[in-house]
Amino acid sequence: MDTRRFFTLLASAFLVLKGILSARAEETAEDALRQMKQVVRSRFPDVRQLSTAELATWLADTNRPAPLLLDVRTPAEFAVSHLPGARRTDPPSTAAELSPSLPADRPVVVYCSVGYRSSELATRLIKAGRTNVMNLDGSLFQWANEGRALRSADGPAKAVHPYNEKFGRMLRPSLRPARWETPK
């Protein structure tokens, strides 16, 4: 076998192996996120979970008023990407702080990275008497892993802030930014 053919075969084998490992990493991200969604559901049983497919259908329906989308993450996370049209709110916000800016008749969909912080906020809003609040099941990670549209201040976005290294494993590798600021 000549050297050129050997290196061509070696390069092909490398690309196949890289594809297999990448597919396995994405499967692991989906498995980890599925487990986290179960944790969120069991920890917050009174919070209605809205699937990403339901939200996408709702947002595309021009005959139905769009919900208010609240992104319950830090400014650093929001800057990397968020749902189109979302408004950022601090994770520790209280219902009293938010209520004046939430129209009473408009449904609210909250989300964060995986759904935990947003379910905490949803719980506070429900306890304060808000009845039309839902958490986005799997939150931004689920939305992004499904290839749905993301925005940043500069326009369309292709990455999601991973929150931290452990949570970042719930994102498909192609969605993880090369660098990010750790939330405070």
Q: What pTM value is reported for the model?
A: 0.83
Task: Give per-residue pLDDT as tens, 17-28.
Answer: 444 444 455 568
Give the start-to-end residue ranges of the domains of the chain. 26-175
- Of 171, 170, 167, nearest in space to 159 by CA: 171
> What CATH code is assigned to 26-175?
3.40.250.10
Q: What is the pLDDT of residues 150-177, one digit of tens each?
A: 999 999 999 999 999 889 999 999 999 8
Distance CA 148, CA 131 (A): 27
Reference 184, options 156, 164, 167, 154; nearest CA is 164
